[in-house]
Structure 1
């Protein structure tokens, strides 16, 4: 196959942990050709196809100069066997526009994973609303008084912005309600911005588990991202420690209920965030943790992914 990765700049990759890099490495190992571009390189003109200035690359195996650029040229997306949208969050306006360009490329014959319309239809924090049976008490609102009532009911809560990533903007408020008013003002900007509020789940001390689902099937190990020191955030970007562990029965139950349904909608790869027995987020834009799970358990997550990608391309 000839695979195009739409991603962040290659020069910014941290290859020792980057999931997109691990996908590229497995694809090249199988003899597939690799190209890359950034969302800003996507272009459409009336009477023409969606195209991009792409870089054909070869992985070198070196830690420093990890890729060699073989050539750079403008090419229609439909000329690739698969286009992988791997741009990291946030899901901002430019990401949104990129999904529309990718959807147009689909209409022209491109095969895009994850499906652009499905990326738009499953915002990572709000997608859990479809599966309330797995969710801890949660409130989505712009109303400050609703947040205060929710706090009174549950005592200890977590507040977070809907467009946050990597643990940014997350606040914990205890039963005393200290600084709750100021936090609400900061996050929802006097009612201008919708926020999410969830009952604090004490099992966060054991980690915020990332459960990967590929082609509707769960990877049998999660990565528990464990908060360090006085932190409440387990996100690796916020200093959490990643510990791989077998999925629990509850993890499997959640993955088996959600995974096949979202796979049918064109989401080849998703990441479920689970704290204790509760689903907290569904990540669809650029799920990570391939390398950490593979290194700690020996289970080859990139192999499972490229197997699923090859099967999906062959089936279309």
Structure 2
């Protein structure tokens, strides 16, 4: 049985650039509920992966796409291991990206060379008339670790450097610090070094590789014990609930990828202050969906590649984040 609800306006044709469908964990995947919300409104859903994209002289940026219908299944059953088909292939075709009403770039990190090249293909598709979210140039211009530098008034003491001695000096000044690689994801490669400096040298050697790699160092924020909050911005507007990723056991990282407990909570006054300033700026640059990571009163990262958290917030609060997102996509279309 298809998951479908008719719409009263012209249906959109949406292309999602994604990881393979069989890798989805639909009980928690944000792209899945985006597609589901779109189909419930009568919009048509097509998908492709990065390797399917191509350009050839004389033509436009195109892809081998698959049109799919989402089936009426219980995502929670997947969490219990009760696997069943959740999508049905309708047809395949070659199609130019500019012929879709919107192209939604939902390929998960890492932001590697192939991701970089894909943004250039998407940029060419935009020149041909495609509407891409998040916008290709904005994905390149907003690296998720370094983007906080533009909004320094909202961050704690932070250092970005390739100089091992500057890292040591920063630790000597602040005593308790977090070190992270600039290309990490999901909490990978993050280390805490306390006042005793234990293992600081070996961590610098591993992350910095004798001055070859830049490292971000931030003063440790004790409020991490209360959660690393993900605040979602959709077309500049803030989702009214944050998702606090709370570290478990002796872990210092709250990322869900490393076992953090996700707890939805109302936004604080500080959360709203941060969102009200940053949201409109990034939306103006073509970033339709942004995830701010906030610990205590400080922004620590700005996520733009494939922000998540829709399902956790919806399941715990009843607020339909995916519907808010599709509303934003519809507002960007001339016939809506």
Using the size of structure 1 for normalisation, the TM-score is 0.99
Pair 1:290 & 2:301 matched? no
CA drift at 1:61: 1.6
Which residue, 258, 279, 288 being the options, matches 2:299?
279
Cα separation, partners in 2 of 1:67 and 1:277, compared to 1, 3 Å: same
1:176 paired to 2:206: no
Aligned positions, number: 316
Q: Find the aligned partners of 1:250 and 1:204 in 2 and give their Cα distance.
A: 16
> Using a 3 Å threshold, how does the CA distance of structure 1 residues 152 and 227 change in structure 2: closer, same or farther?
same
Matches within 5 A, 1:208-219: 208-219=228-239
Show structure 1 runs of 5+ residues with no match.
none
Deviations, residues 86-121 of structure 1 (Å, cap 9, x unaligned): 000111110000000000000011110000000000
The residue aligned with 2:32 is: 21
SS of residue paired to 1:118? helix
CA distance in 2, matches of 1:61, 1:192: 51
Correspondence 1:207-286 to 2 at 5 A: 207-286=227-306
SS in 1 for 2:26: coil
* Corresponding position of 1:36: 47
The corresponding residue for 2:155 is: 135
Q: Give the whole-Å Cα distance in 1 for the aligned partners of 2:72 and 2:186.
A: 28
2:56 is matched with 45
Unaligned runs of 5+ in 2: 1-11, 76-83
Is it true that 1:79 corresponds to 2:90 in the alignment?
no
Say if 2:63 is the partner of 1:66. Answer: no
Which SS does the other structure have where 1:20 is aligned? Answer: helix
TM-score by length of 2: 0.93
RMSD: 1.0
Partner of 1:288: helix, strand, or coil? coil
Q: Supply the distance in 1 between the matched residues of 2:69 and 2:39 (Cα, whole angstroms).
A: 8
Partner of 2:9: none
Counterpart contact for 1:111–1:313, Cα < 8 Å: no
* Deviating 4+ runs (over 6 angstroms): none
Question: Over residues 272-302 of structure 1, what are the superposed CA-to-partner deviations in whole Å (9 max), with x where a residue is unaligned?
Answer: 0000000000000000000000000011100
| 1:310 aligned onto 2:330 | yes
In 2, the alpha carbon distance for the partners of 1:48 and 1:304 equals 35
Question: 1:40, 1:164 → 2: CA distance?
Answer: 23
| Equivalent position to 1:121, from 141, 159, 181 | 141
Q: Distance in 1 between matches of 2:115 and 2:208?
A: 22
Q: Name which of structure 1's ranges 13-22 and 64-73 shifts more when overlaid on structure 2.
A: 64-73
Other structure's SS at 1:280 match? strand
Q: Distance in 1 between matches of 2:335 and 2:167?
A: 47
- 1:131 match: secondary structure: helix
SS of the equivalent of 1:57 reads strand
